[in-house]
Amino acid sequence: MSSKDEANILDHVTVLLKRKGFIAGITVACVVIAAIAGFVLPPTYRAETRILPPQQNSSALSAYLLSQLNSPVLASGALGMKSSPVGLYTGMLRSRVVLDRIIDRFSLVSVYKKKYREDARKCLSSALKVQDDRKSGIIAVRVEDRDAKRSADMANAFVEELKVLAQSLAVSEASQRRLFLEGQIKSTQENLKRSEEAMKGFLERTGTVRIEEQAKVLIEAVARLRAEISAKEVQLRVLKSYSTSRNPDVQKIEEEVKGMREQLARLDTKSSGAADNSLSMGKLAGAGVEYAGKLRELKFNEALYEQLVKHFEAARLDEARDGALIQVIDNAVTPEKRIRPKRLLLIAIAAVAGFFFAIIAAFFLEYRDSLSADAGNSERIAKLKQYAAILPGQ
C-alpha cells in the first residue's frame, strides 16, 4: 500500500472520529424513530388452514357399475385417473366469486375503510396467500388481518366457499360426464316415450300381432345391439371431450363400435336359411313388419336408456365423491403471535441504515467545510450568496 493510500485512509478515519457525535446522534435518532413506529403501527396476524383436494376422480363403486356395462376402458380409467390439478383449486380460491362472498360475510368494505367493493377485493386478494406443495398436493390457505380471530375465521371461510364453488361447477371429469349424460338421458326418455305411444297406437289400431319366437329373438337382439352401439358412441364422445383421437382408449372404443356395426349389418341381412337359423327382418310381411319395426325401436330405446342411466349414476357418485374429498387437514386457529411489525428487525434495519446515512452525511459536511476553508472558494461562495440575494428586476 502506497503512502498516498495510507494518507487517504487516515483522512477518512479522522473524519469519522471528528464527526462521531454526529454519526451516533443520527443512528440513535433512526433507532428511536423505528422503535416508536414498531409500537405505533397496528399488528398484523396470519392464520393458516391446510386442505387436501381430491386425488382421483372415480371410486371403486363407480368402477364396479361401469364394469357391469362391459366397459373395461372406463372401468380401468375409473381406478387410475390422475390427481386433480392443484392449480385449479388455487385459482378458484382467488376467483371473484369467492372473494366477494368473503367480503360480504365479514363486511370487509367497512373493515378496510374502502368506498368501492373493487378496492376491498384488492385488499383481500393481497391478504390471501395460497401455497401448494406439489409433492404432497396439500394446499395451505393463509389470511393476514389486523384482527387475530378474524384472520382465522376468514381462512376457514375460504375453504367453506371453495367447497361450495367446487360442487356448483363441473371442475372434474365426473362432473363433465354427468352433465353430458344428463342431456343424453333426457333425449332418450323422449324417444322412449314416443316409441311407447307409437306401439300403443299401433296395437289399438290393428290388435295384437303374433310373430314367431325366432323373429322376436332377432328383433330383441338387434335392438340390444343398437343400444350397445349408441352407448359406446356416447362413451366415445365423453372421452373425446378431454382426450385426443390418439388416445388408446378412444381408438379401442372406435374399433369396438366398428365391429358391432358389422355384426348389426349381418343380423339385418341374414335370411331364414342362414347357419344360425335366424329369421331375416325382410321375411316379415304386412302388419308384422310394422309391428317388428316398432318393437325394435321400443326395445332399442329401453336398452339405451338403461345403459345411460347406469353411466349417469356412476358419474354422479364420482362427482359427489370429488366434492366431499376436499378435506381439511388443519383448521385455522386464532394466531397468538403477530407477523408484523417485527420490532427487533425493524430497529436493526433502522440502525444499519441510519449509521451508513450518517457516515455519508459526515463526509458531505467535511467536504463542505473544506470548501469554505479555502480562501479562493470563500470568495466564490460569497459572490454566489451576493448574486442569489439580488431579486430579479433590481
pLDDT of residue 261: 81
3 state SS of 186: helix
What gap in Å lies between CA 343 and CA 85, rounded to an integer? 40
**Selection from 70-84, 148-162, 193-207 with the highest mean pLDDT:** 148-162
**All three cell numbers of 326:** 376436499
What is the average pLDDT across 37-59?
78
208 and 268 together in one domain: yes
Is residue 314, in this structure, part of any structural domain at all?
A: yes
**Look-up: residue for cell 381406478?**
79
204 and 123 together in one domain: no
179 and 281 together in one domain: yes
pLDDT of residue 118: 93
**Selection from 31-35, 150-154, 231-235 with the highest mean pLDDT:** 150-154
What is the average pLDDT across 311-324?
69
pLDDT of residue 320: 65
How many percent of the chain have pLDDT more than 70? 67
Is residue 330, in this structure, part of any structural domain at all?
A: no
| 171 pLDDT higher than 50 | yes
Q: From start to end of 139-293, where are the E strands? A: 139-145
How many percent of the chain have pLDDT more than 90? 20
pLDDT of residue 362: 87
Higher confidence at residue 353 or residue 216?
353
Answer for the pair 236, 73: CB distance below 8 angstroms, yes or no. Answer: no
345 and 282 together in one domain: no
65 and 8 together in one domain: no
Of the three residues 113, 144, 172, the one that is the final residue of a domain is 172
Is residue 19, in this structure, part of any structural domain at all?
A: yes
Is residue 55, in this structure, part of any structural domain at all?
A: yes
Is residue 328, in this structure, part of any structural domain at all?
A: no
pLDDT band at 49 (very low <50, low <70, confident <90, very high): very high
Report pTM: 0.52
CA-nearest of 210, 213, 84 to 137 is 84
Provide the CATH number for the domain around residue 99. Answer: 3.30.1890
Domain housing 247: 173-323
What gap in Å lies between CA 342 and CA 292, rounded to an integer? 85
194 and 311 together in one domain: yes
How many helices (H) and strands (E) the chain has is answered by 15, 4
What gap in Å lies between CA 99 and CA 106, rounded to an integer? 11
260 and 145 together in one domain: no
157 and 234 together in one domain: no
**Selection from 26-35, 36-45, 48-57, 361-370 with the highest mean pLDDT:** 26-35
81 and 129 together in one domain: yes
What gap in Å lies between CA 102 and CA 114, rounded to an integer? 15
Residues 6+ apart with CB under 8 A from 308: 181, 184, 185, 188, 231, 234
pLDDT of residue 97: 92
Of the three residues 143, 172, 201, the one that is the final residue of a domain is 172
Q: What is the mean pLDDT of the chain?
A: 75
164 and 178 together in one domain: no
Q: Residue-wise over 70-83: b if at least 16 C-beta within 10 A, else e?
A: ebebbbebbeebee
| 81 pLDDT higher than 60 | no
pLDDT of residue 120: 94
pLDDT of residue 179: 75
What gap in Å lies between CA 97 and CA 185, rounded to an integer? 31
What is the average pLDDT across 175-201?
80
180 and 116 together in one domain: no
| 349 pLDDT higher than 80 | yes
What gap in Å lies between CA 100 and CA 92, rounded to an integer? 12
Is residue 244, in this structure, part of any structural domain at all?
A: yes
Is residue 101, in this structure, part of any structural domain at all?
A: yes
CA-nearest of 173, 111, 126 to 316 is 173
Domain count, the chain: 3
Is residue 300, in this structure, part of any structural domain at all?
A: yes
pLDDT of residue 60: 42
Higher confidence at residue 327 or residue 152?
152
CA-nearest of 291, 293, 316, 308 to 229 is 308
pLDDT band at 300 (very low <50, low <70, confident <90, very high): confident
List of long-range contacts for 122-128, beta carbons under 8 Å, 24+ apart:
124/99, 125/94, 125/99, 128/93, 128/94, 128/99, 128/158
| 323 pLDDT higher than 80 | no
Q: Which amino acid is at 201?
A: G
Q: Which amino acid is at 376?
A: G
151 and 244 together in one domain: no
Q: Hey, how many other C-beta atoms are within 10 angstroms of the C-beta on 14? A: 11
